[in-house]
Amino acid sequence: MSQEIIKINVTAGKIDVLTSPADIVAVAVYSDGKGGEVFTRLDKALQGALSQVRSLGDFKGEANTTSVVYGNAATCARRIVMVGLGDRKKFTLDTLRQAAGRAASRAVDLKGKKAVFSLHEDLPKRTDMAQVGQALAEGAHFGAYRYDEYVGKSKTGDGRPAAIQVAIAESDVAQTRQLNQGVKTGNLLGEAQNFARTIMNRPANVVNPASLAAAAKKLAAQTPGLTCSVMDEKQIRAKGMGGLLAVGQGSATPARLIVLKYTPKTNVRKQTIGLVGKAVTFDSGGISIKPSQGMQDMKFDKSGGVAVLGAMKAIAAMKPAVQVYGIIPSAENMPGGMSYRPGDIIRTYSGKTVEIQNTDAEGRMILCDAIHHAVTLKCDVVVDVATLTGACVVALGEWRAGLMSHSDRLVAQIKAASEACGENIWHLPCGEEYLDLMKSKIADLKNIGGKWAGASTAAAFLGEFARDVEWAHLDIAGVGMVDGSTKFGSPGSIGFGVRLLTTFVMNESKVK
Ligand code: BES
Ligand code: MN
Ligand code: ZN
């Protein structure tokens, strides 16, 4: 059977790196070679072993590099992991998030259960210590994550830790308090992100619309402030959600509409935010079937919906003063005798009709109904998130998600959230000229545009269903996963969107 995902917990405390027993002590090193006080003390205790690694040139303190030196009787810690922060001048909070990720990842590989981090020495003046604590905790959760629930114990090795304790070492009491404030948020976000990663990583024979709905119900049952209702295929048909119905009709596991609701204790601004996420549990392309190469990655086509699920978990724990719906349309896009076809004309929930020209452009067909549902629930703001187009991957690669919107205010808010949380985006257009390409001669819209600007034409299509609300769209097709050979940690999903959506909602709740 499957094994449990590693549990990670982070705290900050008055800890001395020399006298505290630990499996690893992680110490930060900038590439200019000037070690901080902690580095110097450790180096002394090790009779210069750390500086020797540097002078040999085996470790230069570059960002995203690490080097392990073994402890002695004078260090208490079994291992010292030097973690590069790179160029001092390029320092951002994400430098720390990445460094903590590297350190935590090394801890897992070295089968360590207890890690002490001293990564936040020598920061630029006026760095907010709560933000430092949050970034370190988020990084630790991210880096210590492994998707190995179906890997036999023999392969993960004896003693793969079931849980990792990370202690951030700080000598100052006031700073420790501030760090811990941020650590609390970082633990919540890190946990929610890893929760999402696990569901994203699970294959389509495990996660289908019904089992995803069950997972959402389970989350709501465990989470105060969160409720969940699910529409089955019959209810979807009765409501007139023709897009979601059509995409799901070719599958043996029919569609669901999952609606999570977070109700705040007080809603000062009387604002309601709708987070809408595409959850296609497998995208074969349907009748317009995809080439077989790489098709296995289409298990990740539920990532937008699962990011919404993870964000709702974090939001319920962080308790913003706004109402939030998490709306997750879920379907499996399969070819078969019951499938929708190219040429079909679908009446969507909004009443608008859509001519299907390619059944592989299915994401927009389920999202348009979910967005309209958000409108009927009286959301003021709607943000949808979806692995929507290969064109967005061509434009932005795996580094940034595309952001499209009708609202300059939302663009600014989402950009701010992105900068704060370290999940990167890039603003792309979705105006009239792109919408023109989505107009059909025999229906209100068609579901594909021309050859060019596929990310923007898809967004323009979605925008038509969100005319009366503030709306933004995140195309996360490129940022959904890593192959493991180019980045550290676990191959598969990086849980993109959980931090971004949560940060956005928390910021919205503070807008005056
Ligand atoms: N799920 C795919 C988009 C995708 C592609 C996600 C690559 C992740 C990596 C989406 O449903 C799709 O198939 N889009 C088509 C749209 C086209 C038919 C207009 C695409 O991008 O090719
Ligand atoms: Mn598709
Ligand atoms: Zn898709």
pLDDT tens readout for residues 210-252: 999 999 999 999 999 999 999 999 999 999 999 999 999 999 9
- Percent pLDDT > 90 in the chain is 91
- Average pLDDT value for residue range 458-477: 98
All structural domains of the chain with their residue ranges: 7-193, 202-482
Domain covering 202-482 in this structure, CATH number:
3.40.630.10
Q: Kindly report the average pLDDT of the chain as a whole number.
A: 95
What pLDDT, in 10s, does the model give residues 315-332?
999 999 999 999 999 999
Look at residue 512 in the predicted model and tell me its pLDDT. Answer: 73
Identify the CA nearest to 334 among candidates 250, 209, 243: 250
In the DSSP assignment, the letter for residue 374 is H
Cα-to-centroid distance, 472 and ligand 1 (Å): 19
Q: Looking at the CA of residue 447, tell me the nearest atom of ligand 1.
A: 19
What pLDDT, in 10s, does the model give residues 64-121?
999 999 999 899 999 999 999 999 999 999 999 999 999 999 999 999 999 999 999 9
Look at residue 3 in the predicted model and tell me its pLDDT. Answer: 81
Residue 134 to residue 62: CA distance in whole angstroms: 23
Look at residue 153 in the predicted model and tell me its pLDDT. Answer: 73
Hey, what are 384's tokens? 């949808």
What pLDDT, in 10s, does the model give residues 199-211?
999 999 999 999 9
Does the beta carbon of 357 lie inside 6 Å of ligand 1?
no
**Cα separations in angstroms, 289 against 67, 298, 342, 361:** 47, 12, 11, 11
Does the beta carbon of 360 lie inside 6 Å of ligand 1?
yes
Identified catalytic residue from 237, 290, 352, 439: 290
Look at residue 494 in the predicted model and tell me its pLDDT. Answer: 95
Ligand having the closest approach to the CA of 358: 1
Q: Looking at the CA of residue 363, tell me the nearest atom of ligand 1.
A: 11
Look at residue 483 in the predicted model and tell me its pLDDT. Answer: 73
Look at residue 103 in the predicted model and tell me its pLDDT. Answer: 97
Look at residue 511 in the predicted model and tell me its pLDDT. Answer: 85
Cα-to-centroid distance, 286 and ligand 1 (Å): 12
Residue matched to tokens 């260090």: 75
What pLDDT, in 10s, does the model give residues 28-40?
999 998 788 999 9
Q: How confident is the model at residue 388 (pLDDT cuts 50, 70, 90)?
A: very high
- Percent pLDDT > 70 in the chain is 98
| For residue 140, pLDDT beyond 70 | yes
Q: Looking at the CA of residue 389, tell me the nearest atom of ligand 1.
A: 21
Residue 116 to residue 18: CA distance in whole angstroms: 10
DSSP annotation string for 233-296: HHHHHHHT-HHHHHHHTTSSS--EEEEEEE--S--TT--EEEEEE-EEEEE--TTSPPPSTTGG
Ligand having the closest approach to the CA of 387: 1
CB atoms within 10 A of CB 345: 14
Cα-to-centroid distance, 376 and ligand 1 (Å): 28
Q: Same CATH topology for 7-193 and 202-482? A: no
Start-to-end Cα distance in the chain:
51
Mutate to test the pocket of ligand 1, among 282, 360, 482, 493 (most ligand atoms within 8 A of CB): 360
Q: Are strands 381-386 and 470-475 parallel, antiparallel or unpaired?
A: parallel
CA-nearest residue, atom 14 of ligand 1? 389
3-state secondary structure string across 164-230: EEEEEECCCHHHHHHHHHHHHHHHHHHHHHHHHHHHHHCCCCCCCHHHHHHHHHHHHHHCCCEEEEE
Catalytic annotation present for 126: no
- Average pLDDT value for residue range 376-401: 97
Look at residue 318 in the predicted model and tell me its pLDDT. Answer: 98
Look at residue 152 in the predicted model and tell me its pLDDT. Answer: 83
| For residue 154, pLDDT beyond 90 | no
pTM above 0.85, yes or no: yes
CA-nearest residue, atom 8 of ligand 1? 477
Cα-to-centroid distance, 361 and ligand 2 (Å): 5
Which residues keep their CB under 5 angstroms from ion ligand 3? 280, 283, 301, 363
Residue 214 to residue 303: CA distance in whole angstroms: 16
Which residues keep their CB under 5 angstroms from ion ligand 2? 283, 360, 362
Q: How confident is the model at residue 290 (pLDDT cuts 50, 70, 90)?
A: very high
Identified catalytic residue from 102, 106, 202, 364: 364
Hey, what are 411's tokens? 């663009």
- Average pLDDT value for residue range 135-153: 94
Q: How confident is the model at residue 409 (pLDDT cuts 50, 70, 90)?
A: very high
Residue 44 to residue 48: CA distance in whole angstroms: 6
Catalytic annotation present for 290: yes
Look at residue 485 in the predicted model and tell me its pLDDT. Answer: 56
Residue 296 to residue 207: CA distance in whole angstroms: 14
Look at residue 484 in the predicted model and tell me its pLDDT. Answer: 61
Domain covering 7-193 in this structure, CATH number:
3.40.220.10
Look at residue 1 in the predicted model and tell me its pLDDT. Answer: 52
Does the beta carbon of 479 lie inside 6 Å of ligand 1?
no
